[in-house]
Each structure stands twice: as structure tokens, then as C-alpha cells.
Chain A
């Protein structure tokens, strides 16, 4: 696969829900009519408004936003479960809007697989029967269906449950079935609409781990919707934030946390523990001069980096990339400032003796 090739391009997509979207598209696109006005004056719902997003092949793109902000609408444009009112959707080089019904079905069979918030399993089929569903639809031979299905069933940790019905399984196990069903489809794109939102917090973390482990192995383009920032930051290579049908910010998780673009995004990131989310690489500044006494990996979290500096009784360290090459330098002061801003405790931390820091950070 090409390094950093674009897998999904979404270009100026608008979606208006209602009986006559074509009547109001101009008012929205050229006249700048907002969601509230469209609803009040014309009783149509603005689902998406001028959304553009490039998603790179092999990465996890998270889409976040409050309920009703248009996340589900956006993800359903990728496999055209929802038709755009205006704009383009190009997936793996295919103009999805132009597909005729048969071509669209083939595109969905070959290029995308989906995992749903409410699992959407077939209640009359066993775990095995559910996992082979996509393969059956594609018409692969029974032997191949079983081979694929058994592989993915064991991969998501459901060995021994092949003959159980969904109603006999817990939510977390049901969603493992949903995941296995999607993965066995062997499509390059995996669409996950709040796939873990219905699960208990501990189970959810388990599922995130499974997903990340699998992603190391399969390297799919994953579009992952969530309204949980911790989940977004843990899973996402890229994060996009939606509000009222618009994409208000997109970027790396650190970018979003460190420089929220709007008050809405700020609200989202306020509660986040920057010490864990932000990697020290994000603060590295280029330097000249003799090397520092300490080297830390750029993928170390800020909290851990602060701890290392404090324990070494140093005020700065060199930051290395994954190959061990020095890419810049980071100072304890910058680290502490960044950490402190998140908790809103700038004043309390200012002038604090460095010996006290480790305890604060650990607590």
C-alpha cells in the first residue's frame, strides 16, 4: 500500500433532510443559512454543512461531536447509506455518488464494512452465522466463509461461542461479533459508528485495546465515531470535531487538545488529562549546541516526561523519534506549563518547588 495515500475524500458535502432538499440547498450553500433558520423557516434539517475531510489510508480517523452534530450522517455518506444533497465523496478513487445500484452493492461488499452502535446482529443466527453474513452476501464459498469466520472469531476472543445466539451474549461480546463480522469482510475501510458507546466503561477500554491490536495487524482505514474524548484520543491518529453539521476542527489529537479552535472544542477538551494525552514530541523545539544529559522518546506522555526530568534533576532533555534520532529539545518549564493549563491550576503550580512535582503528578 502506498504510504500516506488518501483513502477517503469528502469534498464540500451538504446534507439537508426533508422532502425538498433541492429547494434550500442554495440558500444554505450560497446564502449561509444556518441549521436553526432552516429548521424554523422551512422545516428541513441541516444534517451536514460544507464538510470536507481527507482520510489517509491505514489510519484511524475519529469523528467527535455532541449528539445530533451529524456524525452518523457523515459516516453514512462514505458507503452511501445516505445520499449527499451536494458535494463529492471519493472512496479509494471511486466517486461514490455516481455508482449505479449494482455497482454500489459491489462497492459496499468489497470496500467497506461497518460496525454499529446497537450491534445490529441477526438475532436468528448464531455467532458463526452472523460472522459469515458479509461473506455470504459476497457469495464466497462455504469453506472459505468458515475459515475466515473462525479466524476472526478467535481473533476477537470468542472461541467456543460460535454456536451461541446474540441474545445469550453480553453487550461487549455482541460487539465482538459485530467486529468479527466486519473484519471478515476484508474491506480496506472499516466504519464504526459509536461502536463502543453502548458498552460499560471497562468493557469499552477492552474493546479499544482489541481494536488497536487488530489495527497493528490489518492496517485498515478506520473511521471511528465517538462522543467520548478519552476514547477519541486513545484511538485516533486524527480527530475531527463536529458541531451542528459543520466540521469545526480537525488535526492530530495533540493539536486539538493543545490549541482548541473554538469554545465548543475547548469545552470538549477541558476535562482531558493532558499529562496522558499529549506526547512530549509535541513540545519539542529545535536546538543547537551540546546534547542534553537525558534523552526521552517523543512518544512519551508529558506526565512521564516530567517525572523523568524531575527524577534526573534536570531542566531539559533531548527528544528522539522512533529511530532514536534527536529531533528537538524540551524544557521542564514548558512541560509543567502545558500540564498546568489543563487543570486550570496555573497559579497553584507556579513557584512550586520541583521536588513536590512528582507527588502532584502521580496523585
Chain B
């Protein structure tokens, strides 16, 4: 009978049995395929470790030079280069150089992975209504599900370490690039697309010569958001063994080291600003033709 005081809940035994069954099933799956999944992600692990080593072991002046050079290539702004180099010098002076390099490696790899997976998925969504109907709720879950929740199965499968951390970061950071690639392609002027059709362009030619270039401003905005999202996951990722600026923050929380927390927090902010300004300047430079708009 339905009673009005108290919500009619599933009876406790059934609920427990259900949870047990799912957990048991997943555990069995983990035992069975954990090693396979780990092998699958091995190249990723190798790559991540390579990038991290590169950044940590290369002498710092060289790293500074390369970062400064990259910032300049992307933005063509000496001011931005000076800001980036100064920020990194201060970070290094305060003893956070190595942690910063590790975080940088993680962000770079996570962003590359997000872009490599996200742009094709975004294109698929733009092309197919069905793909879009499937992807949209998935993206919603990826962005709103508290990250601690999906850390559980990831850790069960892959244990503690760099790769599960990387995956957690990518789950949270990939949706913006997927969404904005889809949006950018959908927003391409139908007249221009018709012109491409009239000249006999194939699907691939339309994508390469019309849709992607015209969607580029949105795609760049997506990459920018993806980088920011990845940075915001640094502390969470450090909980499952990712080294870098997140770990001192965790330590600071546990031990109430206010200053330690603030220093590392500001280092994260510093990297975020460098990435943000540089990628935005790059995005603007890519669409010079829009600046030329005359009256």
C-alpha cells in the first residue's frame, strides 16, 4: 500500500542486493579486464611520462626560452612574453618549479588528448542528428557529475596514478571542445556551404576548406575552455596520485598550512592566465580577416 507519510522507497533488501550486484559485476569486470584496460592506456602513460621528464629535466633557462618563444609565436606580443616569463621566474624562485612543470605536462597532455578526441566527436555531432541526440546528455553528465564519483570506477579499473588522473581530467575538460566544435560547424553560413556544393566539393573538402576554418573561432574558444577546465581539475587529480601543484595544496588543506596553499594556488592561477591570454591572442590572430571589417 502506498502511504503518504514517508516516501515509498524500494525495500531495503532489494536495494542492497541491487547495489551489491552492480558493484560485484563491476569488480568482476575489473578483475577480468583491468590489465587489458591498463595495457590499452600504456602509450598514453608513456607519452605523459615523456613530456613530464622533458619539462622537469631540461635546464630551466631552456624551458623558459622555449615557453617564451611559444607564447611569442602564438600571440606576437612581447608584453605577454614578458608577463609569462616573469610569472614563471617568480614561481621558480618560490620553489615551485618542478611541481609547476609536472602540472604543465599534465595540462598539455590532457589538452592534446581532449582535442584529439573532442574535435572528431564535435564534427560527428554537427553532421548527424542522431550522434548529437546521444552525445548531448553524455556531455551534460560529464560536466555536472561530481568528479569524485567517476574517480571511483576509474581508480577501481586503473588504480592510483598518472593515467587515471589524466582520464579524470579529460572527462571533465573535453566537453567544451566537443560542444564548441559542434556549434561552430553548425553556425557556418548555409550560403557559403551551398557555394561549396555548387563547385562540387566533397564532404571532406567542405570540412577542410569551409567548415573547420569558419568554425575555428569557436573551436579556439573551446580549446581555451578545455585548458581552463583541465587546470581546475589539478587538485582533484592529485588526490589519485597525480604529481604537481595539486599535491602541496592537498597537504596544505590537511595540515592547515595557509601560506603553502596560497602559493601553490597562485602558481596555478599564473599558469591559467598565461594559457588563457596566449590561446586567446592566438585565436584572434587566426581571424585577422574579421578585424579588417570596414565601415
Interface residues of A (CB under 8 A from B): 79, 81, 104-110, 112-114, 116, 118, 120-124, 133-134, 136-138, 164-168, 185, 191
Contacts and interface: CB of A to CB of B under 8 A. Distances in A.
Nearest to A136: B209
A79 B290 CA distance: 32
Interface in B267-292: 287-290, 292
Contacts of B214: 122-124
Query: 6 tightest CB-CB pairs across the interface, nearest first?
Result: A108-B200, A109-B200, A165-B289, A120-B195, A114-B198, A120-B191
A121 B192 contact: yes
Contacts of B189: 120
Interface string B109-137: 00000000000000000000000000000
Nearest to A101: B202
A165 B292 contact: yes
Contacts of A118: 191
B77 interface: no
Interface in B209-223: 209-210, 213-214, 216
A106 B200 CA distance: 6
A107 B209 contact: no
Contacts of B292: 164-165, 167-168
Given A134-B200, A168-B294, A191-B198, 19 more contacts: A104-B200, A105-B200, A108-B197, A108-B199, A109-B199, A112-B198, A113-B198, A120-B189, A120-B194, A120-B195, A122-B192, A123-B290, A124-B214, A134-B199, A136-B209, A137-B196, A166-B289, A167-B290, A168-B293
B208 to A, nearest CB: 10
Nearest to A104: B200
Given A120-B191, A122-B210, A167-B289, A185 B199 contact: yes
Contacts of A168: 292-294
Contacts of B289: 123-124, 165-167
Contacts of B197: 81, 108
Given A124-B289, A136-B209, A108 B198 contact: yes
Given A120-B191, A124-B287, A168-B292, A105 B202 contact: yes
A260 to B, nearest CB: 33
27 contacts: A81-B197, A107-B200, A108-B197, A108-B198, A109-B199, A110-B200, A113-B198, A114-B195, A118-B191, A120-B189, A122-B192, A122-B210, A122-B214, A123-B192, A123-B289, A124-B216, A124-B287, A124-B289, A133-B209, A137-B196, A137-B199, A137-B200, A137-B205, A165-B289, A167-B289, A168-B293, A185-B199
B232 to A, nearest CB: 32
Contacts, number: 76
Nearest to A114: B198
A215 B287 CA distance: 37
B260 interface: no
A168 B214 CA distance: 17
B213 to A, nearest CB: 5
A134 B197 CA distance: 10
B49 interface: no
A113 B199 contact: yes
Most chain A C-beta atoms within 10 Å of own C-beta, residue among B197, B200, B205, B293: B200
A123 B293 CA distance: 10
B294 A167 contact: yes
B212 to A, nearest CB: 10
A136 B210 CA distance: 12
A191 B205 CA distance: 22
Nearest to A165: B289
A170 to B, nearest CB: 9
Nearest to B202: A105
A164 B292 CA distance: 9
Interface in B133-190: 189
B64 interface: no
Given A114-B195, A118-B191, A121-B192, A137 B294 contact: no
A348 B216 CA distance: 67
A36 B210 CA distance: 38
Most chain A C-beta atoms within 10 Å of own C-beta, residue among B195, B205, B209, B210: B195
A148 to B, nearest CB: 14
A110 B200 CA distance: 9
B201 interface: yes
Nearest to B288: A165
A81 B198 contact: yes
Contacts of A166: 289
A239 to B, nearest CB: 24
A225 to B, nearest CB: 14
A11 to B, nearest CB: 22
Most chain B C-beta atoms within 10 Å of own C-beta, residue among A110, A122, A168: A122
Contact of A120 (B192, B200, B201, B287): B192
A241 B250 CA distance: 78
B201 A105 contact: yes
Interface string B245-276: 00000000000000000000000000000000
A80 to B, nearest CB: 10
Contact of B293 (A109, A137, A138, A167): A167
A79 B202 contact: no
Given A108-B200, A138-B200, A167-B292, A116 B195 contact: yes
A116 B197 CA distance: 12
